[in-house]
Structure formats: structure tokens, C-alpha cells
Amino acid sequence: MTAILGVLLAAGVVLVASPWLWPRDRASGRGPRRSHEIERRAEALLGRAGFAHVAPRVLAVWMGGLALAAAAIAWLVTGAGVLALLAALAAAAAPVLWLRGRVARLLRARRALWPDVCDLLVGSVRAGLSLPDAVSGLAESAPPALRPAFDRFARDMRASGHFGSSIDRLKQVLADPMADRIVETLRMAREVGGTELVGVLRALSVSIRQDTALRAEVESRQSWTRGAAILGVVAPWVILGMLSLRPEGAEAYASPTGVTIIVVGAVVSIASYRAMIRVGRLPEPRRWFA
């Protein structure tokens, strides 16, 4: 079992170092397309979580490091190889789960701020400001959580003077479905013109407020579903960890029957958790032209 664990840990180190050992441009066939798709998803996840400046390989290094640390600790505490492997998998998934949770929290926090942004834009347009000046003014008047993104837009406009590229970078920084609606509305008004921008922004503000209120009510009623799912998944594994601290428990779980029970339990736990989360999950709006 020690040799198997050593091979698994060595394989994890090789996978973490693979971007430097085998660069993407030297590979061919199906592998590069798959790795490019994984990298693209990692970049999208980091961008939505507010870490667009972080490279996907940094996330891979964190996942590999946490997996190695968790596997070593589990092996030293329990001496069971299967528990060390499960601990490594759980630790490797932890950064991704944390990023997804951060994305959900950011979306919920920002959802209530976009109506105020629409109202500020309406006031600026009615005051006679141009669209670039109206959006740049949000760097000082927008809610504090959104000011850094609009401040970057203002700096981009001063540097390039091109509204299209600056609004594209703003859309990438915000990485929010509601922001996409506002940005594309402003882009259309800038490129096509017309006198309906104020009415469209007001209607968009009302729509976002209604959607936010409805989602808040439904999420408060369905919060017990997520809590029950997390409790149902964590509790058995806490008990398993406590039992494996005893020598006879560790010996029993290291046997073929114990390994089978742990593997089946892990599969059932993951499937049940995903089913519960899917039942209680609300459909999120998709991004526009992202």
C-alpha cells in the first residue's frame, strides 16, 4: 500500500508540472483540445470569481499542493491508503468549490446593485453627458463594490479613447449576467443611436429589481435543502475519520471489504449531494456574448 500511495503522489506531482514539462504547442491530437478546454473553463471561473489576473496554472498548483498535503496528513493519521486518496481528491476539489461559492456570493451581492447603476446612468444621460462620460462617472458614484471596475474603464478611456474596447474590458472584469445586459444596451445605443436609452435603462432596472426580490424569497425558502445536503454528506465522513483513528478501525478499512465500502460510500455521497443541490438550485441567467 505504501508503494501504491507513493506512485499516486508522484503522479500528482507530474500532473502539476505537466504544463512546463509538455507545453501545449508541442502536443497534438485530441489532448491539446481537451487541455485548452480545461484551461478556458479555469480562466472563466477565475474571472467570474474576481481573479482574472490569476493564471490557470496557479490554480493547478494550489490543487496539487493541497492534494499532497491532505494525502500526507490522512496517511500519517490513519495509515489507510484509500482514505489518503479520498482526502487528496477532496482537497484538490476544494479550491474549485471555493471559487464557485465565491462566484455565487458575488452574483447575489451584485444583483441588488445593478438597479442603482441603471438609475445613475439614467440621471447622467438626462443631464446631457455622453455615454463614455456617464460610464466613467460611475467610478465615483457607483456602489463601492463596483467602483474599481468602472475606475478601470475610465482609465482605459483616457488611455485609448475607444469606447468599444474599453467597454469590452469592463464587461470582462465585471463578469456578471446583469452587467452584460447593461453593457450591451450601452453598446447598442452608442453604435446605433436613438432616444430610447433612458426608457430601456428604466425598464431594465425594474426587471432586475423584480428578479432580485423573487430570487431572494425563493432562496430563503430553499436554503434548508443545501444545508441538509451538506450535513448529510459531511456527517458520515466525520464519523468514519474518528473510527479510523483507532488501530482496529484503520485495519478494518484497509482491508478489501473496507476499501469497497469506502469507495461505494464516496460514490453514493457525491451522487446524493449533487442530486440535492440540483433540486434546490435556481437557474442562473446566462451571460450575453461572453
pLDDT tens track for 6-34: 556 556 655 665 665 555 544 444 555 66
Predicted TM-score of the model (pTM)? 0.60
Structurally, the chain folds into a number of domains equal to: 2
Domain range for residue 165? 114-213
* 50-81 per-residue burial string, b: 16 or more CB within 10 A, e: under 16: beeebebeebbebbbbbbbebbeebbeebbbb
> Would you give the distance in Å from CA 224 to the centre of its chain?
22
Low-confidence ranges of the chain (pLDDT < 70): 1-35, 194, 280, 288-290
Q: Within this chain, do residues 193 and 168 fall inside the same structural domain, yes or no?
A: yes
Residue 275 lies in a domain: no
Q: Domain ends where: 192, 213, 234?
A: 213
Last residue within a domain, chosen from 110, 141, 172: 110
CB of 81 closer than 8 Å to CB of 75: yes
Question: For residue 277, is it within any domain?
Answer: no
Residue 27 is predicted with a pLDDT of 42
Do residues 37 and 124 both lie within one domain?
no
